[in-house]
Structure 1
């Protein structure tokens, strides 16, 4: 039995969700992929997948074995690339996870150019504001607007995500404009529910000062998607705190107004996250380098 080939087949069945999808990727038949996984299970003496007509799910031992397979195959692929040449052409499927708005507004528009630069890479772009388990989902690179909390991962800083507080002219006409952060307590604040400190907004004075201000906020709506929060602000529902690159266009044409200009909202660090391993896959390094370069060229990300 080709154990490495069987391990690769098992990994792709898990990541793609089915034997047929894995077979299409490898230009073979579903029966061939099924035989490889069955042979692997026979050699291990353990059931890795529970099969049904609707889906395939990993068994408990299968989940443990899957994580080991991903690590082994990843290091093997990169070791081979290192031996062939330091200038080896990056290739293979690159699985990238990113927040929905950031992925749509920044990654997607430049993806065609990235693929032109690296024609042997295929990108599987996964957009979700939910937390993604990189190992379980087979993700090579995840973009996250938060501090790294998992010691099994590595973070490469991309930029500090500048935040601003905004509201629509209609809302401000009805409820007045806050001049100090503490006045936000009396306003309807729409919060992003995926943050660790959902109902606390942090500020510093725009002029040089060590004073830090934390304000508990509340409102009649919370949401786990930035684009939806932006729309609620445009509709005049309340005050929101969002990245400047999300609202800049609307501010320029007067649909939103920046509030508390004498204060700086605490920025969120944007990082490229990837699993710890002896070698970082060349395809992942190329993507992170490309992304960091494009961000450096955009004034809203500096």
Structure 2
């Protein structure tokens, strides 16, 4: 039995939630993946997975073994990557997670260039605004608009995410334009529900930091939907400048509270804290940083 191959199959079944998904990723059959895991269970003399027609779950022993497998395979991949980085171009599958809007607006346009620059790398891009467990989901690098909170991860700063408060001209014709943050309490504020303090907007003016509670009839975990509601005149929102710049220039949106600076969120590239960072990860992060530096909207 190829124990390492069986361990990799077992880990991907757990991470992807099914034998069929792991089989599709490895370009093989579900039966082949199932046989690998069964052979691993036979060698260990323990049941690793509980399987029913509807769901797949780890046994208590399987959960412990899975964590150990992830560590062992990560160490092996690091050792191989270290050797390859000295003799070859970066290669392999790069699994990247990013927020939906950032992935669509910034990452999608540069992926063709990146893949042309590094033809031996394949990219699996996962767009999701929800929190992702990098280890459990097998993610190499995640792009996040927040401070690093997990000591097992490393953060590489990409840019400070500048925010602006915007509304449509139609909304401002019907409602008095706020002149200071406190007046936001009189407006329908559309909030992004993935932030820790979703109903608090933060501003700076001079040496003063201002935090304002806002309320509204709608909140959402997707920036595209919030943007569309603002364009349709449903209310006021605080959004990244790179997301709304074209609409401001076209006149579809107007900036509100121009004299107040919305406190930016840091955008970071997050990856597991290993002794050696795979070359494909380093190349991807450096490529992102270069492209962001070339774009004035991300300054």
Shorter-chain TM band: over 0.9
| 1:67 aligned residue | 67
Query: What is the CA–CA distance in structure 2 between the aligned matches of 1:270 and 1:191, rounded to whole Å?
Result: 19
How much has 1:40 moved relative to structure 2?
1.4
| 1:291 aligned residue | 288
Structure 1: segments with no counterpart, 5+ residues = none
| 2:182 aligned residue | 182
| 2:37 aligned residue | 37
Query: What is the CA–CA distance in structure 2 between the aligned matches of 1:253 and 1:27, rounded to whole Å?
Result: 47
| 1:282 aligned residue | 279
How much has 1:47 moved relative to structure 2?
1.9
| 2:244 aligned residue | 247
1:267 equivalenced with 2:288 (yes/no): no
How much has 1:110 moved relative to structure 2?
1.1
Task: Select the residue among 223, 239, 258 that pairs with 2:255.
Answer: 258
What TM-score results when the alignment is normalised by the length of structure 1? 0.93
Matched-pair contact (CA < 8 Å) for 1:71–1:277? no
Measured against aligned partners, the alpha-carbon deviations of 1:262-297 in whole angstroms (never above 9, x if no partner) come to 110000000011111122122111111111111111
How much has 1:24 moved relative to structure 2?
4.2
| 2:170 aligned residue | 170
- Where 2:211 maps in the other structure, the secondary structure is strand
Runs of 4+ in 1 over 4 A off after TM superposition: none
Matched-pair contact (CA < 8 Å) for 2:193–2:219? yes
Structure 2: segments with no counterpart, 5+ residues = none
| 1:201 aligned residue | 201
- Where 2:136 maps in the other structure, the secondary structure is helix
- Where 1:136 maps in the other structure, the secondary structure is coil
1:130 equivalenced with 2:125 (yes/no): no
Query: What is the CA–CA distance in structure 1 between the aligned matches of 2:43 and 2:211, rounded to whole Å?
Result: 58
| 1:101 aligned residue | 101
- Where 2:239 maps in the other structure, the secondary structure is strand
| 1:211 aligned residue | 208
Structure 1 residues 198 and 87, CA gap change in structure 2 (3 angstroms): farther
| 1:117 aligned residue | 117
Report 1:44-63 matches (<5 A): 44-63=44-63
Aligned length: 299
- Where 2:269 maps in the other structure, the secondary structure is strand
Structure 1 residues 218 and 85, CA gap change in structure 2 (3 angstroms): closer
How much has 1:82 moved relative to structure 2?
1.5
1:231 equivalenced with 2:220 (yes/no): no
Matched-pair contact (CA < 8 Å) for 2:166–2:237? yes
Structure 1 residues 88 and 72, CA gap change in structure 2 (3 angstroms): farther
What TM-score results when the alignment is normalised by the length of structure 2? 0.94
Structure 1 residues 187 and 85, CA gap change in structure 2 (3 angstroms): closer
Structure 1 residues 87 and 176, CA gap change in structure 2 (3 angstroms): farther
Query: What is the CA–CA distance in structure 2 between the aligned matches of 1:24 and 1:204, rounded to whole Å?
Result: 50
- Where 1:96 maps in the other structure, the secondary structure is strand
